[in-house]
Amino acid sequence: MLSSGSARRQKQRKVLLMGKSGAGKSSMRSIVFSNYVAKDVRRLGATIDVEHSNIRFMGNLMLNLWDCGGQDGFTESYLTNQRSSVFASVAVLIFVFDVESREFNADLINYASIVQALRENSPQAKIFVLIHKMDLIMSNMRDVVFAERSDAIRHISIEHGFGGNQQDAGKDVDFWGTSIWDQSLYKAWTQVIYYLVPNAGAIENLLRQLAEVIDAHELILYERTTCLMVTHVSRPYEADGNPHPDRFERLSSILKSHKHSVAKHTGMPAGSANFAELQIKTGEFMFLITRLSENTNLAVVMGSGEAMYNAARINIANARDKFAELDIASKSREKAENRANDDAARNGAFSH
């Protein structure tokens, strides 16, 4: 999201994707970033050594993603002769555990070696642990299994310097149960992206002001290519009363499916397929998805009324330049947030 006069420097963040071979790392990467659908990942082969991907996200944020093969020989190489290059300057480690692995203790030992190397070379890195293939566990046992696995992994993390002590356990480690067959995958990766976007707070401030102006129940910002949620703002009555806590990820999944449908019927690549606008109007509410910037779509949930709807569209159009000013390539999180707050305090970001 850049204004035309902004310096187009790219903010690079290094992300390691690791775990034992067959855990599902490349499958999830292909679904999230390469527009695969779950049924198609069966044809993916095992990752050999490291597959590097430079993924542009939100304009000039470049994710330098290292998808690391999980075979024992490759892991040994990462921990010995490649140690300094693999684990240096890491912003995020995403470590994937296969929930049905019959060698969980061995997986824990492997994880311990990885986080030790990370601690030595990138002590400020954030760790996201994905306990994957949760769809293979009986639904009534998923919470129990997830808790057991998380506790064991958290203990190892603390032993190797991530999470501090038992009182603030998990401070640097987040745990997510995932599956490629439901929206849990989008929920986990949304958290990763939110952590990496340096000015998410500034974006939220502008969304909050826009929500007040148009009297929206909820605003959700999605990245256009991946359909991942960047952030959202919920007004108090919506946040407290909505019975669907996974609605953001459900919408990500719906948007991704729609992209595949558009691609199928137009012959366009799935990564390029998009729509201009989607409207749903009922007697009780209105729902709108529209382009907010070159790289984002905005979903709006609001009350019913044609005059309110038309005013909202005008205000969203007026807000586009404000969002385009958030140059995530050249501003730190703090500087961007302070500037947005100062501008809003002096002038107000939007007008009724």
Residue 219 has what pLDDT? 94
Structural domain spans, the chain: 3-196, 200-332
Query: In one letter, which amino acid is 135?
Result: D
Q: Do domains 3-196 and 200-332 have the same CATH topology?
A: no
The percent of residues in the chain predicted with pLDDT above 90, rounded, is 35
CB 45, CB 30: distance < 8 Å: no
Distance CA 151, CA 145 (A): 10
Interstrand relation of 61-68 and 126-132 (parallel, antiparallel or unpaired) = unpaired
Residue 331 has what pLDDT? 41
Structure token digits, residue 73: 């020989």
Residue 298 has what pLDDT? 92
List CB contacts of 239: < 8 A, sequence separation 6 or more. Answer: none
Q: What's the start-to-end Cα distance of the chain, in Å? A: 24
Distance CA 64, CA 66 (A): 7
CB 320, CB 292: distance < 8 Å: yes
Tell which CATH classification among 2.40.50.140, 3.40.50.300, 3.30.450.190, 2.60.40.650 matches the domain 200-332.
Answer: 3.30.450.190
User: 3-196 belongs to which CATH class?
Assistant: alpha beta
**Structure confidence at residue 15 as a pLDDT band (50, 70, 90):** very high
Residue 57 has what pLDDT? 74
pLDDT mean over 180-200: 87
Residue 280 has what pLDDT? 86
pLDDT tens-place string over residues 42-88: 655 556 668 888 887 776 678 899 999 888 888 899 999 999 999 99
β-pair partners for 177: 131
Question: Which of 3, 94, 107 minimizes the C-alpha distance to 53?
Answer: 94
Residue 60 has what pLDDT? 65
CB 2, CB 56: distance < 8 Å: no
H/E/C letters for each residue in 23-74?
Answer: CCHHHHHHHHHCCCCHHHHHHCCCCCCEEEEEEEECCCEEEEEEEECCCHHH
CB 104, CB 27: distance < 8 Å: no
Give whole-number Cα distances, 182 to 195, 249, 256, 276, in Å. Answer: 22, 9, 12, 26
Q: Poorest-confidence range of 200-209, 271-280, 311-320?
A: 271-280
Residue 226 has what pLDDT? 82
pLDDT mean over 102-123: 94
**Structure confidence at residue 311 as a pLDDT band (50, 70, 90):** very high
pLDDT at residue 252 above 60?
yes
pLDDT at residue 345 above 50?
no
Query: What is the distance, to the nearest Å, from the Cα of residue 180 to the centroid of all Cα atoms in its chain?
Result: 15
Query: In one letter, which amino acid is 131?
Result: I
pLDDT at residue 96 above 80?
yes
The percent of residues in the chain predicted with pLDDT above 70, rounded, is 76
Residue 274 has what pLDDT? 67
pLDDT mean over 321-345: 54
Strand order in the sheet with 50-57: 50-57, 61-68, 11-19, 90-98, 126-132, 173-178
Structure token digits, residue 222: 């999605």
Residue 1 has what pLDDT? 38
| CA atoms within 13 Å, Cβ hemisphere of 8 | 8
Q: Poorest-confidence range of 156-160, 274-278, 316-320, 344-348?
A: 344-348
Q: Poorest-confidence range of 3-7, 36-40, 101-105, 222-226?
A: 3-7
Q: Poorest-confidence range of 12-21, 25-34, 150-159?
A: 25-34
**Structure confidence at residue 263 as a pLDDT band (50, 70, 90):** low
